[in-house]
Amino acid sequence: MEHLRRSWPTAATETLTRSPRPSVQPAGHSPTTVIARFVARRAVRSVIAWGYVFAAYVVGSISGFALTYKTQAAREQLARSFSANVGLQALIGPARRIDTVAGFASWRTSVTLTAIGAVWGLLASTRLLRGEEEAGRWELLVCGQTTRRRAAAQGVAGLAMGWLVLLCVTAIAAVADGATVHPALSPRAWVFYALSITCGAAMFLAVGAFTSQLARTRRRAATIAGACLGVAYLLRMVADVSPALGWLRWASPLGWVEEIRPLVGTHLLPLVPIGVFTAGLAVAAVQLAGARDMGDSILPESDTAPPRTRLLDSPTGLGLRLLRPTALAWLVAVAGMGFVEGLIAKGAATAVTGSAAVERALGRLGGRNGGVVAYLGLSFLISAIALTLVAAGQTAANREEEATGRLDNLLVRPIGRWSWLAGRLGVEAGILAGLGLVAGAATWIGAVTQHSGVGFGSLLQGGLNAVPPAVLLLGAGTLVHGALPRLVTPVTYGIIAWSFLVEFVGSVINTSHWVLDTSILYHLAPAPAAPPRWGSAAAMVALGAAGALGGAALFRRRDLISA
């Protein structure tokens, strides 16, 4: 026994020493690219919806032109109507050879889809870089065998993969639909066309990555990137309106894309500043990521500030304070858009009067083709789409409060879930109604400067008429928030994308009314081209309220779910 007692520690020690060490296998096949794959997966998820919008817009522009303007005389009349319209040139660029399928598709999509892609790019990059870092999840990735600089490089590579998917989806749609029209262009030309209209997304992915290193919060990073996009759009607009200032087009990233002129005399030189701009900002973002601490920013921010307790005495006041910056930004955007639409309404009326596409769209919605009121009726449909985007952003913000854990700090106090959600929804519904009124008033201000002859009351009704679809979407998003909170963003934006596609396709081809009824925009009268259908508006508001009540009931019964 004594022998065993003495030998046992040695034997046990030798056994433990000789036992093989457990091997830790890194997750995935290539741990050096785990961050790039993580960012790429999330970027591709958002590309699915946005790529759907790109493809639908491209197909609608190509097929819509071929189906609507079948004769050369109709195409020449279109070219005469739009080519000299300064207002439309300011909005979507100069019209070049729009009496052809290629020219019309290039004109309709180059500026529009470039701007849409730029918005997606700056939102996606700030969310996947600064947003993940702000939420504390980026630290879990960087704590591996990597550095901040290499991690940022992988993040940029993941964003580039998302852009490549967007390019492929757009190119497939353009090549497939372009092969069905006459005269046919080569697939190579349509692929280059897809490349040109997705350049805005690539550039502003890089802009968002760069501003994510400058600012400490995702919101501020997105605000800086959005300001850059606004300046770029303004410079392009001034250059297109004034021939003497045409050189300003080369000072704007959106102007570079416009100068490519895909399908109508392609220029390759603008690809040089586009490539240098994108690569330069991407490299700068990687370098700045290595020059700062995790969670810090390049721009100085004070950690202390005097207390500001205004509006913090109730959940409704808190919701108003949190949503105030976004509401003010949308207020300026909607007012500016309404003023421009009113300003150009009289000049654009000659272009839409007698247009087969306009007559079909207005007739399907119950309107009449009557010059200025016809154009304003279509412009308020665009305002309605903008308001649905506001509603989708509001539901996503409600979900973000829960996903990031900030809502926990309120619910541990004597504040119920119903009180918090009701306060938020009340503020958000008020914002939507206010934006509708501002859209109508701003449009009237622009129209009255040109003596368009449209009354203030009818335009105010047109602005309010654009609100019900957004209220319906707000209620639907709240219902999804209560039942399946992680699906709030894809479902709400998916409803918008589907409604936009149904409206766009339904305006150029005959579509079953069962399909049209699924669009939240189909039940909207194009006021002031037609009297508002207040019964349908009340039904949409009632459905939105019912969805909000159902979502609130489900929200009260379930556990809080993080991101």
What confidence tens digit (pLDDT) does each residue in 43-75 have? 888 888 778 778 877 887 787 777 777 788 878
Output the CA angle 559-562-563, nearest 5 degrees.
Answer: 145
Better-scored residue on pLDDT, 196 or 500: 196
Q: Residues 318, 292: one domain?
A: no
Better-scored residue on pLDDT, 559 or 373: 559
pLDDT given for residue 113 in this prediction? 87
Among 174, 170, 172, 196, residue whose Cα is nearest residue 184 = 174
541 inside domain: yes
Among 46, 39, 178, 206, residue whose Cα is nearest residue 118 = 206
- What total of structural domains would you count in the chain? 2
CA 303 from chain centre, in angstroms, equals 32
Q: Residues 427, 371: one domain?
A: yes
Q: Residues 352, 488: one domain?
A: yes
pLDDT given for residue 235 in this prediction? 85
Among 496, 480, 475, 493, residue whose Cα is nearest residue 542 = 475
- State the Cα–Cα distance between residues 397 and 216, nearest whole angstrom: 19
Report residue 11's pLDDT band, with 50, 70 and 90 as the boundaries.
Answer: very low
- State the Cα–Cα distance between residues 430 and 423, nearest whole angstrom: 11
Q: What is the arithmetic mean of pLDDT over 390-410?
A: 87
- State the Cα–Cα distance between residues 375 and 168, nearest whole angstrom: 34
Among 167, 279, 237, 263, residue whose Cα is nearest residue 271 = 279
pLDDT given for residue 76 in this prediction? 80
Q: What percent of the chain has pLDDT over 90?
A: 27
Lowest mean pLDDT among 56-60, 433-437, 462-466, 557-561: 56-60
Contact 399, 481 (CB under 8 A): yes
- State the Cα–Cα distance between residues 159 and 169, nearest whole angstrom: 16
Among 368, 362, 543, 372, residue whose Cα is nearest residue 443 = 372
Among 387, 539, 522, residue whose Cα is nearest residue 464 = 387
Q: What is the arithmetic mean of pLDDT over 142-164?
A: 88
pLDDT given for residue 31 in this prediction? 62
What amino acid occupies position 82?
Answer: F
Q: What is the arithmetic mean of pLDDT over 346-373?
A: 56
Better-scored residue on pLDDT, 339 or 182: 339
Q: Residues 423, 501: one domain?
A: yes
Distances (CA, A) of 64 to 101, 178, 360: 9, 12, 12
- Which DSSP string corresponds to 130-198? IIHHHTT-HHHHHTSS--HHHHHHHHHHHHHHHHHHHHHHHHHHHHHHHTTSSS---HHHHHHHHHHHT
pLDDT given for residue 30 in this prediction? 62
Contact 139, 300 (CB under 8 A): no
Q: What is the arithmetic mean of pLDDT over 206-212?
A: 95
Distances (CA, A) of 440 to 186, 337, 436, 470: 45, 11, 6, 16
Q: What is the arithmetic mean of pLDDT over 15-19?
A: 45
What amino acid occupies position 254?
Answer: L
Q: Residues 199, 225: one domain?
A: yes
The answer, yes or no, to whether residue 170 has pLDDT greater than 60, is yes
Per the structure block, which two tokens stand in for 255? 């102007």
- State the Cα–Cα distance between residues 514 and 420, nearest whole angstrom: 38
Among 457, 236, 435, residue whose Cα is nearest residue 338 = 435
13 inside domain: no
- State the Cα–Cα distance between residues 384 and 467, nearest whole angstrom: 7
Strands (E), 455-533: none
289 inside domain: yes
Q: Residues 436, 547: one domain?
A: yes
The answer, yes or no, to whether residue 210 has pLDDT greater than 50, is yes
- State the Cα–Cα distance between residues 330 and 336, nearest whole angstrom: 10
Maximum average pLDDT range among 35-44, 48-57, 303-312: 35-44
- State the Cα–Cα distance between residues 338 and 466, nearest whole angstrom: 12
pLDDT given for residue 371 in this prediction? 67
- State the Cα–Cα distance between residues 265 and 194, nearest whole angstrom: 15
16 inside domain: no
The answer, yes or no, to whether residue 1 has pLDDT greater than 50, is no
Q: What is the arithmetic mean of pLDDT over 259-269?
A: 87
Report residue 165's pLDDT band, with 50, 70 and 90 as the boundaries.
Answer: very high
Report residue 27's pLDDT band, with 50, 70 and 90 as the boundaries.
Answer: very low
Q: Which positions ≥6 away from 277 have C-beta within 8 Å?
A: 203, 206, 253, 256
Contact 353, 456 (CB under 8 A): no
In the chain, the N- to C-terminal Cα span, in Å, equals 60
The answer, yes or no, to whether residue 502 has pLDDT greater than 60, is yes
- State the Cα–Cα distance between residues 390 and 384, nearest whole angstrom: 10
Which range marks the domain in which residue 196 is found? 32-298
Per the structure block, which two tokens stand in for 292? 């700062």
Q: What percent of the chain has pLDDT over 70?
A: 85
Q: Which positions ≥6 away from 490 have C-beta within 8 Å?
A: 45, 49
Q: Residues 284, 351: one domain?
A: no
- State the Cα–Cα distance between residues 88 and 461, nearest whole angstrom: 24
**How far is it between the farthest Cα atoms of the chain?**
113
pLDDT given for residue 287 in this prediction? 94
Q: Residues 359, 450: one domain?
A: yes
- Which DSSP string corresponds to 251-265? GSHHHHHHHH-TTSS
Q: Residues 531, 404: one domain?
A: yes
- State the Cα–Cα distance between residues 414 and 226, nearest whole angstrom: 38
528 inside domain: yes
Contact 478, 398 (CB under 8 A): yes
Q: Residues 390, 428: one domain?
A: yes
3 inside domain: no
Per the structure block, which two tokens stand in for 216? 């400490």
Distances (CA, A) of 30 to 25, 145, 162, 551: 11, 12, 19, 42
pLDDT digits (tens, 9 = 90+) for 92-118: 778 788 888 888 888 878 888 888 899
Given 250, 268, 298, which residue is the final one in a domain? 298
CA quadruple 329, 373, 462, 478: dihedral positive or negative?
Answer: negative
Report residue 304's pLDDT band, with 50, 70 and 90 as the boundaries.
Answer: low
1 inside domain: no
pLDDT given for residue 85 in this prediction? 61
Report residue 227's pLDDT band, with 50, 70 and 90 as the boundaries.
Answer: confident
Given 298, 323, 349, which residue is the final one in a domain? 298
pLDDT averaged over every residue in the chain: 82
Q: Residues 387, 430: one domain?
A: yes
Q: What are phi and psi of 268, to 5 degrees?
A: -90, -20
pLDDT given for residue 111 in this prediction? 84
- State the Cα–Cα distance between residues 105 and 325, nearest whole angstrom: 36
Single pTM value for the model: 0.72
Q: What is the arithmetic mean of pLDDT over 450-468?
A: 88
CA 199 from chain centre, in angstroms, equals 16
Phi-psi category of residue 369: left, alpha or beta, with phi > 0 → left and psi -120 to 50 → alpha: beta
- State the Cα–Cα distance between residues 563 and 558, nearest whole angstrom: 15
Phi-psi category of residue 311: left, alpha or beta, with phi > 0 → left and psi -120 to 50 → alpha: left
Lowest mean pLDDT among 57-71, 337-351, 473-487: 337-351
pLDDT given for residue 496 in this prediction? 85
pLDDT given for residue 416 in this prediction? 84
pLDDT given for residue 198 in this prediction? 94
Q: What is the arithmetic mean of pLDDT over 145-159?
A: 89
Q: Residues 377, 236: one domain?
A: no
pLDDT digits (tens, 9 = 90+) for 118-140: 989 998 999 899 988 887 777 77
Given 298, 333, 348, which residue is the final one in a domain? 298
Residue with structure tokens 């779910």?
561
25 inside domain: no
